[in-house]
C-alpha cells in the first residue's frame, strides 16, 4: 500500500591525502650590534725618559635575526562518508524513472576516521532536518561530538539494549509509584495545617521553575518537612520544605 519507495545508499570514499609545506624561519647571529673597548695601563715618568704600559680589552655584543628558513612537510588523510536517500513515486517509477523522483538527499562528512560505523550517526544527524525537502542549495551543518541526540539515535541498537539489560537498576516500589504519577499528574491540594502531614505520606511540591516534584515524607520537624524524592538518575534526595509549600496528592 506504500505510495513511495525510498532507496538508501551509503559508503566511504577512497582516502585522499593532502601534502602541506610550512616554511619556518631560522634564527641566529647576524653580526655585531656594538663593541666596547676598555683600556688599563700605567704611565711612569723618569728623568729624561717616559715609559707607558697600556692594556686594552674589547667586548662585542652580537645581533640576532633571521638567517635562513627550513621547510616542514606534513600530510593528512581524509575520508568522505556519505549517505544518499532517494524517494520515488511507486506508480510512475516503472513508466518514467526520472519524473518519478520526489526528492533526493545527498549528505556527507569529511573525517580523518576511516570507520563508517563511527561517522554514520553524524551523517544522519546532519540530514534529519532536510529529509523530504528540497533545499535548492548546499547546506553546511555543524554537529558536536557530544551532541545529546546521538544517544537518542543509537538507543535502539542491539548493543545498547544488551548493555541496558546488564546494567538495569533495581527500581523500588516508591520509585514505581512516582513514575506513574509523572505519566498521569494528579491534582494537588494545599494542607491546612502541618499536623495533617504524616511521615511516609506521598506528597508533592513545586520548584521555582514550576516543576512538580513528588516524594514521600521522611520527617516532620517544627515547620519544616523533609521529603525524600527520587530523581531520574541517581539516588534518592532529601528536600527540606516549609510545610505550607507541601501539597497533598488527590
pTM over 0.75, yes/no? no
For the cut 70, the answer to whether the pLDDT of residue 77 exceeds it is yes
Could you count the other beta carbons within 10 Å of the beta carbon of residue 150? Answer: 16
Scan for cell 549528505, then name that residue.
107
How confident is the model over 87-115, as a mean pLDDT? 87
Question: What is the biggest distance separating any 2 CA atoms in the chain, rounded to whole angstroms?
Answer: 134
Instruction: Name residue 41's beta-bridge partners.
Output: 54
Q: Ranked by mean pLDDT, which of 20-24, 41-45, 218-222 comes out on top?
A: 218-222
The reported pLDDT for the residue numbered 182 is 82
**pLDDT value of residue 41:** 61
The per-residue pLDDT of the chain, averaged, comes to 82
DSSP H helical segments within 22-172, as ranges?
116-127, 149-153, 158-166
The backbone region for 180, taken as left when phi is positive above 0, alpha when psi lies in -120 to 50, beta otherwise, is alpha
Residues 6 or more apart in contact with residue 81 via CB below 8 angstroms:
10, 11, 12, 13, 108, 109, 110, 111, 116, 119, 120, 123
pLDDT mean over 104-111: 90
pLDDT at 94: 82
Answer with the residue of higher pLDDT: 106 or 162: 106
Residue 34 has pLDDT above 90, yes or no: no
Residue 12 above 90 pLDDT? yes
What was the pLDDT predicted at 155? Answer: 66
| Set of cell numbers at residue 185 | 499528574
pLDDT digits (tens, 9 = 90+) for 135-183: 778 888 888 877 877 777 776 555 555 555 555 556 778 888 888 888 8
DSSP conformation class of 234 = S
- CA gap 205, 189 in Å, rounded: 10
Rounded Cα distance between 26 and 69, Å, is 5
* Residue 81: how many other CB atoms lie within 10 Å: 23
Helix runs in 128-217, H state only = 149-153, 158-166, 173-183
Q: Which pLDDT score is estimated for 49?
A: 55
| Integer Cα distance of 115 and 157 in angstroms | 17
Q: What's the rounded mean pLDDT across residues 19-26?
A: 87
Residue 9 has pLDDT above 90, yes or no: yes
Segment 198-247, tens digit of pLDDT: 999 999 998 876 788 899 999 998 899 999 988 765 577 888 889 999 99
**Residues facing 62 on adjacent strands:** 32
Q: Which residues pair with 47 in a beta bridge?
A: none
Residue 165: the pLDDT is: 55
Contact (Cβ atoms closer than 8 angstroms) between residue 128 and residue 107: no
Amino acid at each position: 500500500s506504500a505510495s513511495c519507495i525510498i532507496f538508501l545508499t551509503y559508503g566511504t570514499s577512497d582516502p585522499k591525502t593532502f601534502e602541506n609545506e610550512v616554511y619556518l624561519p631560522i634564527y641566529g647571529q647576524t653580526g655585531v650590534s656594538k663593541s666596547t673597548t676598555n683600556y688599563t695601563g700605567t704611565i711612569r715618568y723618569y728623568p729624561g725618559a717616559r715609559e707607558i704600559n697600556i692594556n686594552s680589552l674589547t667586548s662585542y655584543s652580537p645581533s640576532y635575526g633571521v638567517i635562513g628558513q627550513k621547510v616542514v612537510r606534513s600530510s593528512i588523510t581524509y575520508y568522505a562518508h556519505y549517505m544518499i536517500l532517494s524517494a520515488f513515486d511507486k506508480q510512475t517509477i516503472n513508466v518514467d524513472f526520472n519524473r518519478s523522483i520526489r526528492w533526493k538527499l545527498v549528505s556527507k562528512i569529511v573525517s580523518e576516521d576511516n570507520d563508517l560505523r563511527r561517522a554514520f550517526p553524524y551523517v544522519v544527524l546532519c540530514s534529519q532536518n532536510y529529509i523530504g525537502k528540497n533545499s535548492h542549495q548546499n547546506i553546511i551543518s555543524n554537529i558536536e561530538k557530544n551532541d545529546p541526540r546521538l544517544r537518542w539515535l543509537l538507543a535502539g541498537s542491539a548493543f545498547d539494549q544488551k548493555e541496558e539489560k546488564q546494567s538495569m537498576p533495581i527500581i523500588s516500589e516508591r520509585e514505581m509509584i512516582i513514575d506513574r504519577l509523572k505519566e498521569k499528574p494528579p491534582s494537588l491540594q494545599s494542607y491546612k495545617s502541618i499536623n495533617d502531614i504524616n511521615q511516609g505520606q506521598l506528597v508533592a511540591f513545586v520548584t521555582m521553575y514550576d516543576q512538580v516534584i513528588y516524594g514521600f515524607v521522611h520527617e516532620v520537624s517544627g515547620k519544616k518537612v523533609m521529603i525524600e524524592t527520587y530523581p531520574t538518575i541517581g539516588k534518592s534526595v532529601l528536600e527540606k520544605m516549609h510545610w505550607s509549600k507541601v501539597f497533598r496528592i488527590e
